[in-house]
Chains A and B, each alone.
Chain A
Amino acid sequence: MTAETVVAARGISKTFGKGGVTALQDIDMEVGRGEFISLIGPSGCGKSTLLRLIGDLVEPSSGEILVNGKTAHRARLDRDYGIVFQAAVLYDWRTVAKNIALPLELTGWSRAKRAERVAEMLKLVELEGFEKHYPWQLSGGMQQRVSIARALSFSPDLLLMDEPFGALDEMTRERLNAELLRIWAETGSTVIFVTHSISEAVYLSTRVVVMSPRPGRITSVIPIDLPQPRTFETREEPRFFELVTEVREALHASGELVGADE
């Protein structure tokens, strides 16, 4: 890889409980600056756990993770991460604007700077005019856009997304996929994206990391050479289908009941 390394994971294993389930085994992974990496695999392959290890929300049982050359813990304290969960996890008692401003408040931004930044973010996720709404007055897709705006508001180095569109309908998901790519291009951020949708992974990513369960391992890494910027037509190109097939075969080769998850 020529690009500067943002995440370097070496020999990561994670076991839950005393002598319990091995969620991840011998994970080695490197993510370069500006990459869009998807982690894909059936339920129980540890893809979410890997994301949370990188984000220092859980600790590895062995191995080390470096983020920008620092430990994952140090990186979290330095606020290098923006995280988007499957649920939007917005605070019901805060307006859209104040939800987006939450990380800025915690970092001690002045009121004026916060307001300015929130306006920028609302524009980025195309939610202008909704700043005074409460989360429960928005649709699921809009809530997830607020959540993305919040994650990006403080310009974190690394965006970690855990099945952010998993709970949305197909149409909303495709629209938000396109929107996410536009935001990714505009902000130049590095993204690690967990999904169990093959087409979503291929459409979004620069590389797709295929994982297998019990214990969770990386079985293959597939570079996605579709041209940028990607559009709605991208999904109809022959190369897109070839790559989808390649990822699907890699999943099957990893030997588990993948079909149930597609």
Chain B
Amino acid sequence: MRSRIGSAAGRVAVLGLVLVGLWALWEGYRKLWESTGWTRPFPVNSTTMPHLHDIVGALFDPLREGEPLLARYLFDAALFTAKEAAVGFAIGATIGFLLGALIARFGVLQRGVMPYVVASQTIPILALAPIVVVGLGSVSVAGWTPKDWMRVSVIAAYLTFFPVTVNTVRGLRSADPAAVELMESYAARDWSIFWKLRVPAAMPYLFSAFKVAATASVVGAVIGELPSSIQDGLGGWIINFNQYYALEPENLWAVNLVAALLGISFFLLVVLVEKLVVHRPPEQLV
């Protein structure tokens, strides 16, 4: 018990040290470049690198007199983007797993399908986003038209499915051959071997993919918002503050900070679920 408390305190201490270190690095770099007048790789001033306390301070300033704090707006925007990203993650992870399971089961697909799966990720997402978000705008299924944010989720899903597919294939094939033989000695059906052996064996691989996919889904959601004229998410604020960057650079940095925090939250959520679901020797958990 004592060691658990000790290690928790230790972690907080390390986190604090890292944050202080990053702050010192940023501010030290500023100071050095400003005092020497160096201009490479870029000149340092309050526009290119605002003070960290100004960035954090911007979060706790109202945009205009008498309005709520920026943090309040960005919090709502982050929730909106989180919804898009979460739905995208769910869709992408499901499709990724099914595709990976098919490829793992039918070796032919490895050569037939995998190249296209890889190719799909070489298309710049910025080029694809408008096609999907605007293009799907007029699609309706049996009289039901997807809401704007759902189209953004498609972009998030597009970034999510790839790591999940790749790791599902590897994970499902990672089962110990002796463990498979054991199942065969019990005359287990393929279905049982899949659910009771291959899927649990794949879990560490799947969660590695989920960690990558969780942050990618947030990036996908933000990028998906850009061409869709959706104003409710972080993407809308990014476009907005981009236009005023020369005047108030710390606002854009503040949005970046919130977007990063959202990505980190997604990541930590996956880590938490992994801790609850995946039981492995400590040395096998990464």
Contacts and interface: CB of A to CB of B under 8 A. Distances in A.
B188 A85 contact: no
Q: Give the top 10 A-B pairs by smallest Cβ distance, nearest first.
A: A136-B281, A93-B200, A83-B185, A77-B187, A89-B178, A103-B186, A93-B279, A106-B188, A106-B186, A89-B182
Contacts of B281: 92, 134, 136
B11 interface: no
Interface of B: 176, 178-179, 181-188, 192, 196-197, 200-201, 203, 278-281, 284
Contacts of A226: none
Given A76-B184, A92-B281, A93-B278, 12 more contacts: A83-B181, A85-B178, A85-B181, A89-B182, A91-B200, A92-B279, A92-B280, A93-B201, A93-B280, A102-B186, A106-B196, A134-B281
A165 interface: no
Interface string A70-107: 00000011110111010101011110000000110111
A167 interface: no
A78 B201 CA distance: 27
A83 B280 contact: no
19 contacts: A57-B181, A76-B184, A76-B185, A79-B186, A79-B187, A83-B182, A85-B178, A85-B182, A87-B178, A89-B178, A91-B200, A93-B201, A93-B203, A93-B280, A106-B187, A106-B188, A106-B192, A107-B186, A134-B281
Chain A CB count within 10 A is highest, among B185, B197, B200, for B185
Contacts of B188: 106
Contacts of B201: 93
A86 to B, nearest CB: 9
A55 interface: yes
A57 B184 contact: yes
A94 B186 CA distance: 17
Main secondary structure of the interface of B (DSSP, over half): helix
Nearest to B279: A93
Nearest to B187: A77
A85 B185 CA distance: 11
Interface residues of A, number: 23
Nearest to A89: B178
Given A93-B200, A105-B196, A134 B186 contact: no
A230 B67 CA distance: 88
Nearest to A162: B178
Interface in A51-72: 55, 57
B221 to A, nearest CB: 32
B187 to A, nearest CB: 5
B28 to A, nearest CB: 45
B202 to A, nearest CB: 11
Contacts of B284: 92
Contacts of A82: 185
A92 B174 CA distance: 13
Contacts of B279: 92-93, 134
A81 B280 contact: no
Nearest to A86: B178
Interface in A100-159: 102-103, 105-107, 134, 136
A106 B185 CA distance: 11
Nearest to B200: A93
Given A89-B176, A89-B179, A93-B280, A102 B184 contact: no
